[in-house]
Amino acid sequence: MAKTIERRRESTLNLRIDTALKMEFTAIVEAEDRPAAEVLRALMRRYVEEAKRRRFTAEARRQSQMIAASEDETEVMHWIQDVSATRGSR
């Protein structure tokens, strides 16, 4: 049987950058013997992960403030149970 190789879909990103920045970046990655595309992909992945953490933190802060502002303890407890049940089903 022939094995199929699964490839991730890739796409190209074109961007304009300052010439001096490009030259400096290129010199550094060449000196480190690393492909520029590899370094840029790693930077992009790190940025995406940081953005996810920022969104999570902002949402946690919003929920905490909502709970702190509520005067109805029963409502808060129901909300916590609902959120807990949702998280447990993942």
Position 69 confidence tier, pLDDT thresholds 50, 70, 90: confident
Q: Is residue 1 part of a domain?
A: no
**Structural domain range at position 54:** 37-88
Average pLDDT over every residue of 47-66: 92
Of the two residues 82 and 57, the one the predictor is more confident about is 57
Position 18 confidence tier, pLDDT thresholds 50, 70, 90: very high
Q: Is residue 78 part of a domain?
A: yes
Q: Is residue 45 part of a domain?
A: yes
Q: Is residue 67 part of a domain?
A: yes
Q: Is residue 7 part of a domain?
A: no
Mean pLDDT of the chain: 87
CA distance 76 to 67: 6
The b/e string for 47-78 (b: 16+ C-beta within 10 A; e otherwise) is eeeeeeeeeeeeeeeeeeeeeeeeeeeeeeee
Position 89 confidence tier, pLDDT thresholds 50, 70, 90: low
Q: Is residue 19 part of a domain?
A: no
Q: How many structural domains are present in the chain?
A: 1
Length reported for the chain: 90
pLDDT higher than 80, residue 88: no
CA distance 86 to 80: 10
